[in-house]
Structures are given as structure tokens and as C-alpha cells.
Amino acid sequence: MKTTLSGFLFTALMIASTVYADDRGSACVFSKEPKASLYIDPWAKAGTRLQRFGTVENGDDVTIQNCKGVNDQFLALVIGNRESSLASDSGNVVITPQLGIERCDFTKGIKSIPWLVTQVQRENAIRSRIKTLRSCVALQVASMNGRPLILGNHPSCKWTAIGPGSYVARGAVCTVKIETTTALSVKPIVEESCLEPSRFESRELQSGDFNTALQAFVTSDAAATSTNSMVGVSSRRIVFAPSPTIAAFDEESPLRFPKTINLKVQPVALDLATQRTKEDATSFVTMQLLVRNVGSVSSSFPVPLAAEAQLFEISKGGEASSITTWTAYASGQTLVPADWSGLFITDRAEVSDFAFRHGRRYRIRLKYFHPHDVPGLLQAELKNRPQTFSIGTNSFDV
């Protein structure tokens, strides 16, 4: 299958692997080591405005070499940001702000919720993030073996030489000709102007937490009119710190993130099931929450979402009897994306030795809390993200 690169909207994010190949056997070796995250704080002291965190033991460069069967073709280099669709369990790498047509849609009941974000609002938010990414992050591309690189002339790309066999690529898509001797390294670099606060204070650019993906494709020509195969993907988190008026400096926490958040959460769908055997019964509960992380000073950053769920059975007299409690969260996507509104689908909870009975009334109460209060939950995502999670409660009958 061929995908137009010069004007495409989305490219599906593929799991990084060592080798990608098309049906003709062409392939390049693409390094797959996890990369350190980048944290940019324009308001910090000079010399400390760009920091690496996370997997700091690995280098920043992605290497591409040992290409076979792709002579006289080009390598397209693309860096985009992952954006979630209406359902939170899927995402795409976006290099342009238009969303196109969603593959799923909300019911009339959900659409009637007044704070549901429209597609125009979502595209405006994506446009703002893409502008920051394009303005602040470029790619440094260098030959690893001393042989000169043959640069492509993609209309969105601007190449700047910075040394022998080394260049800075700026733009949505940049291309390099592939030869049998091609061996190059690629890494994201932060523009000097984005290490100063002025562009953020003037609101030309927006601070935020970016889940970026550096992708490499084999393409038939320098303009990348179509792609023949995916070479590899390298994911990297890039964070532009909020202003000190939103998150004050703290000597104990060198990385600043918003400590107050403003989520709107509305349960909109519930899936109940019971499996019976001769001896016992087991029930299952899955919830869909409509979530809005838009419109506040912290909305350009992902927000953790988890809740204590409690199931009650309601008697004919209206008395509630507690059945069980569990932690409701989504292990596939534990963070509500930045500037996003959509469905947050919780993991299926198992209720042992219990069966839902026809004609009976039940109630589920959700008490939202800081995920750090749950042992082992979200530690990998949040160990550098101290936040104050406001507690709220939802209760609904089923």
C-alpha cells in the first residue's frame, strides 16, 4: 500500500523494530533503543534550560544504515506528535492540523453534552501544538561514514549545512537519497529561540507536553509523493515547561508541571456481564467516561485519571448495599491527552461470586483521586510529574 506523504494528514504509529521491509524485500536497519525525554524550561537559569530525563543512558541519535534493495530511492524523515482520536485507545502521528473524518462518532446523547469539544476546537488545539513543534524542534542529520549525503528537495523542507556531512532539517518532511553505503544518524534538536521565554509569553507558541514520533519511510522520489515502506519509528517525549505563573519554581522538583488541573468527567456508557457455572457466578463491569481536558491553564499537559469505583445494589425500599470496590482506570492509556475531549474506557473489572439479576437496581459511585495513591499505578509516567489531583464524585444508577 502506498501513502501520499506530501499532503497526508495521519500516519499510523507502528511499533519500533530493528528492520522494516516491504513486499520486495527492501529494508534498512533502524536503531530501536529508547531515547531520553527532553525538558525545555525557557524561564530557568541559563545553562539549565534544556534537560534530559528518563532513559538518559542512551544517546539521542537514531541510526539508519545497511539499506538493501532500495537504491535510487529516498528516505523521508518525519517528526510528528501523537494525537488521540475520539476513542482514547487509539492514536495517530499528526504532522498537519486537519483531523479528517473520524472512523467513529458519538451518539446523540453524548453530542448533547454542552461541553463536548467540537472538531474545529480540536483542530485549533492541534494546530497550536504543531506550530510549537515545527518552530522549536528540528532534525540534525549527519553522515556516519564520511560519505556525502544527497539531500532531497521536498517542498516543505529547508536544509542548513552545519559541518562536513552534517545538516539541520526544518519542515514537515525532509528526504535523503538512499545508496548502499548510506549510514546516517538523526536526532531532534531544540531551536535557540525556544530556549527564551519571549515567544511563549507573547503566546506565539504554547507550552505543552508532546509525545513525538520520529518516523522514517522509503519513498520513490525526493518530493515524497508516495511511500513504499516504513523503515522505523522512534518515540520521544518533549516537554515545554509552563510559565512560572502556572507552575512556580520548586527547589525540590527541577522539572515544573502544572500542579492544579481542571477535568470534566461524565460517565456515558456501561457494559455489565455475568458468566455463570453450576457452582458460582462472576460478573464484569466496563465503563466509558466522556472526559474534557480543555480550556484551563493546565490543559496543554496530559492529566492522570483514576477513580475508586464502588458497586451497590439498591433494595426496593431504596437502601444501598455495597457489593464491591475496585480501582477504575485505563491501563492502555492512563493519561487523559492534552487539549482533548473523548471517550476514556476503563479496564474491565471482575466481581467474583456475584451475578447481576434482571429487574434489580444497581448504583456505581466513582470517587476520583490522585493516581499516586494507588500502589504501582502510573509510576512510570508520573515519577517526574508531581500533581495535585482534585477529588470529585460521580454517582449513577444502572
List the one residue out of 305, 308, 309 whose CA is nearest residue 290. Answer: 305
Q: pLDDT tens digits, residue range 211-264?
A: 999 999 999 899 888 877 889 999 999 999 999 998 888 877 778 888 777 788
Q: What is the pLDDT of residue 22?
A: 40
Q: What is the pLDDT of residue 180?
A: 86
Q: Are 143 and 165 in contact (CB under 8 A)?
A: yes
How many whole angstroms separate alpha carbon 325 and alpha carbon 308? 7
Mean predicted lDDT score pLDDT of the chain: 81
Q: pLDDT tens digits, residue range 175-192?
A: 999 988 999 999 999 999
Q: What is the pLDDT of residue 343?
A: 83
Query: What length does the chain have?
Result: 398
pLDDT(100) > 60: no
Q: pLDDT tens digits, residue range 108-122?
A: 666 677 677 777 787
Q: What is the pLDDT of residue 86?
A: 57
Q: What is the mean pLDDT of residues 375-391?
A: 40
First to last CA, the chain: 46
Q: Annotate 341-370 with b (16+ C-beta within 10 A) or e (fewer).
A: bbbbbbeebebeebebeeeeebbbbbebbb
Q: What is the mean pLDDT of residues 362-375?
A: 70
Q: What is the pLDDT of residue 395?
A: 52
| Residues whose CB falls within 8 Å of the CB of residue 233, separated by 6 or more in sequence, listed in order | 13, 14, 15, 16, 93, 213, 214, 215, 216
How many whole angstroms separate alpha carbon 67 and alpha carbon 88? 36
Largest CA distance in the chain: 83
Q: What is the mean pLDDT of residues 166-179?
A: 94
The residue with cell 511499533 is 15
Top mean-pLDDT range of 67-81, 321-335, 376-390: 67-81
